[in-house]
Amino acid sequence: MGQLAEGLRVVDADSHMTERHDLFTSRAPKGYEDRVPHVERVDGLDMWVIEGNTFGRAGSGGTIDRDGNKHPFTSSMGGNWNIDDGHAAAWDPQARLALMDEVGIDAQVVYPNAIGLGGQNFVNTVKDPTLLRLCVELYNDAMAEIQAESGNRLLPMPVMPAWDIEGCVREAQRCAALGMRGVNMTAHPQDAGSADLGDAAWDPFWEVCAGMQLPVHFHIGASQSALAYYGTTFWPSQDDYVKPAIGGASLFLNNSQVLLNSAYSGMFDRHPGLKMVSVESGIGWVPFMLEAMDYELEENAPEYFDKLQKRPSEYFTDHWYATFWFEKGRGDLQHLIDTVGQGNVMFETDFPHPTSLHPNPVDLVRERVSELRPETQLAVMGGNAAELYRLW
């Protein structure tokens, strides 16, 4: 078995927490107890309901059962599993910490499930702007409590009200005051009626995020646009168990569009301290996209290319991180990481989702990680994340 570098501490840069059924109702202010998201039984399944509309399963949010066994998506979270069918660590922070201790993970960054990977399901369901803002604040308050009670070992990323740029500014400031270490942003705020991310209208938000050391996170599938083709590219000839694999693999390149928009927009020239993270996208696509970004802009818009202070690919080096978990780099992971940038890569497990490294994430990657240079191991398995999230 491969030997890992001495002193290595693991930070998992992407995991998910299933929303507890009382997450919103237990925190609702007087008069809103029945209006905030709550769980109702609909056609034999637990569903999240708000304003009379359902917006997602109140299920397991994962494919790991109570005994720690992993199941196919279609037979678990994509089937009829309820929250109690899944592993307690999927929804109970104390159980999560115990599991982290068991498998050797120091800290985890946490993303949502039912509310949308970028919180986008709120705006798709709620029309009342006051209630909409309340939903965001209640979720983020709950996540801040989890972070504080874990001693900063669990780092949930608060969702932003992407339909309201000024609201994003206020919520980012509020979350920073609560001690949170980043923000979770939808990839396509124009779905919610805002300007797209490359528009200078977002500059006040970028300024706050840069100034308060809040890296901006983009999880794959974190918008309706990103998910639109997830259910439309399933060729009828494919088996039902194969279709989730098609959808999952199709999502990986979505974040390349966010990278392009950010680099070409000039936002990093205006906000040199701004950091962004491409979550659950892998890293294998990055070298080609960096080359393509430079070539395409210089060929198609040379005057705009010259206006930027750096080559587009250099903005990735200075401002972006990406996460990996199962990749082998065609047998040479060191070369892949060197090409992407040793300081730009973080490790993830995706617990408890279908592609997660379970049951022993560190052991599952030990052989290929042990082939990396010791300094690379320390950086990508925990050091980069520890610096970004101010952990150690």
Q: Are 388 and 109 in contact (CB under 8 A)?
A: no
DSSP 379: I
Q: What is the structure's pLDDT at 233?
A: 57
Please give the structure tokens belonging to residue 202: 């977002």
Domain residue spans in the chain? 11-32+88-388
Q: Check residue 222 and give its pLDDT.
A: 76
Gap between the Cα atoms of 9 and 3, Å rounded: 14
Count of H-run helices and E-run strands, the chain? 16, 11
Burial pattern 29-48, b for ≥16 Cβ within 10 A else e, equals eeebeebbbbbeeeeeebbb
Whole-number pLDDT of residue 127 = 87
Residue 123's pLDDT is 86
pLDDT of residue 223: 64
Return the SS3 of 184.
Answer: strand
302 exposure class (CB count in 10 Å sphere: 0-12, 13-18, 19+): exposed
Beta-bridge mates of residue 46 = 41
Q: Which CATH class, in words, describes the domain spanning 11-32+88-388? A: alpha beta
Helix 286-300 and helix 254-265: axis angle, to 10°? 40
Nearest of 275, 276, 312 to residue 291 by alpha carbon: 312
Q: What is the pLDDT of residue 146?
A: 98
Q: What is the DSSP letter of 5?
A: P
Tokens of 100: 């982290």
Q: How far, in Å, CA of 329 to CA of 337, rounded? A: 8
Instruction: Tell me which residues of the chain have a pLDDT lower than 50.
Output: none
